[in-house]
């Protein structure tokens, strides 16, 4: 009942996934132990790595993550074990069914070009490491680095240079790249921003550069959580500012999924991320237009069993409503005439 189909823009690559669930990058995916727990977790068909850099990074000082009932705040600062670790992990792990996604977040365009170039080369050599790449354009926590997803001109030039790596390889080999390529976007709040970003993406696609999916949304950047008792911020980096996740960001996440589904849903698929805590939230993300569902804060709170609970709750809602499969739900949100 929860099977979902995802495909590349030109339908060259297609996957039928047992269920739509994947962890949000950053949650349970930095170390081998945590990744193993996801890979073996029922109802988690696909797994994404922590956003990675060419080399190991320690990240920001602790405490750097905090959650309460309705929200989370983090300023992790990209702690990760370096791209080679994640490629090697996926190369040997046993999840053969779902998507194995590496999230890329180099400190510079050069970093990302080097990492993507290596991944694409490996993929053309048919090494089985991974089948998808998510390019993170939206980390809110790097001191001195703005979020690329908020700088439309830079984002456009950046994507041209990065995605040309794939286009060139395809030209050279006369073969299609077998990787799904996605962008992790920050939340947008203005109708003009949605249109501008959608136009940047359409332009890339019109010039033959691959973008197969969008992940909407990353945490809402630079929120501030204050503890009344201690009269203090709750995380150390950046004076307490950090990315906000959890239930309270669901309306923003749904709006981003919906808008990009309206603007680009005939060209690519969307991974809904933000505020999924139960089957009803999952159902709403599907209605808005998500084909896959990414769980972050709730995974941190509950551990990998969260996928089964939410999956079963989603199945119950779908049965009650008479739906036989997810495709009957995706994007079918009604508006009031």
Percent helix, strand and coil across the chain, each to the nearest 5: 40, 20, 40
Active-site entry in 29, 139, 177, 216: 139
Report CA dihedral (242, 286, 103, 112) to the nearest 10 degrees: -90
Binding to ligand RRO, residues 191-220 (CB under 6 A): 218-219
Binding residue for ligand RRO, selected from 19, 37, 51, 95, defined by CB under 6 A: 51
Active site residue 216: no
Binding residue for ligand RRO, selected from 105, 246, 275, 279, defined by CB under 6 A: 105
Residue 26 interacting with ligand RRO (CB under 6 A)? yes
CB of 243 to ligand RRO, least distance (A): 3
Length of the chain, in residues: 337
Residue 76 interacting with ligand RRO (CB under 6 A)? yes
Q: How far apart are CA 315 and CA 336, in angstroms?
A: 26
**Cβ contact 126:91 at 8 Å:** no
CB of 14 to ligand RRO, least distance (A): 28
Adjacency order of strands within the sheet including 65-67: 65-67, 72-74, 241-245, 220-224
Residue 317 interacting with ligand RRO (CB under 6 A)? no
**Cβ contact 17:4 at 8 Å:** yes
Residue 78 interacting with ligand RRO (CB under 6 A)? yes
Residue 77 interacting with ligand RRO (CB under 6 A)? yes
The angle subtended at Cα 306 by Cα 254 and Cα 131, nearest 5°, is: 70
Binding residue for ligand RRO, selected from 95, 136, 247, 297, defined by CB under 6 A: 136
Residue 243 interacting with ligand RRO (CB under 6 A)? yes
Residue 75 interacting with ligand RRO (CB under 6 A)? yes
The angle subtended at Cα 206 by Cα 201 and Cα 212, nearest 5°, is: 55
Applying CB under 6 A, the residues found at the interface with ligand RRO are 26, 51, 74-78, 105, 136, 138-141, 218-219, 243
Which residue numbers are catalytic?
139
């Amino acid at each position: 009942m929860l099977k979902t189909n995802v495909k590349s823009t030109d339908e060259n690559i297609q996957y039928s996934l047992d269920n739509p669930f994947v962890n949000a990058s950053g949650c349970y995916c930095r170390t081998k132990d945590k990744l193993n727990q996801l890979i073996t977790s029922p109802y988690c068909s696909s797994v994404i790595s922590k956003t990675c850099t060419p080399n190991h990074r320690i990240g920001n000082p602790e405490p750097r993550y905090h959650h309460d009932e309705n929200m989370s705040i983090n300023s992790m600062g990209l702690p990760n074990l370096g791209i080679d670790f994640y490629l090697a992990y996926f190369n040997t792990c046993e999840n053969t069914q779902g998507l194995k996604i590496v999230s890329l977040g180099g400190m510079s365009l050069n970093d990302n070009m080097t990492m993507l170039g290596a991944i694409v080369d490996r993929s053309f050599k048919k090494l089985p490491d991974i089948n998808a790449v998510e390019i993170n354009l939206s980390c809110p926590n790097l001191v001195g680095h703005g979020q690329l997803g908020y700088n439309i001109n830079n984002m456009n030039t950046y994507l041209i240079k990065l995605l040309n790596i794939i286009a060139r390889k395809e030209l050279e080999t006369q073969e299609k790249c077998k990787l799904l390529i996605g962008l992790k976007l920050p939340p947008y709040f203005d109708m003009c921003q949605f249109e501008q970003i959608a136009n940047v993406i359409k332009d890339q696609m019109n010039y033959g550069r691959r973008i197969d999916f969008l992940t909407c949304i990353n945490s809402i950047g630079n929120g501030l959580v204050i503890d009344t008792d201690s009269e203090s911020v709750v995380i150390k980096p950046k004076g307490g500012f950090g990315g906000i996740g959890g239930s309270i960001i669901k309306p923003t996440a749904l709006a981003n999924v919906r808008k990009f589904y309206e603007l680009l849903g005939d060209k690519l698929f969307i991974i809904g991320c933000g505020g999924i805590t139960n089957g009803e939230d999952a159902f709403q993300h599907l209605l808005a237009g998500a084909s896959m569902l990414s769980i972050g804060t709730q995974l941190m709170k509950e551990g990998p069993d969260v996928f089964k609970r939410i999956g079963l709750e989603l199945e119950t809602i779908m049965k009650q409503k008479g739906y036989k499969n997810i495709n009957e739900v995706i994007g079918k949100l009604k508006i009031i005439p």
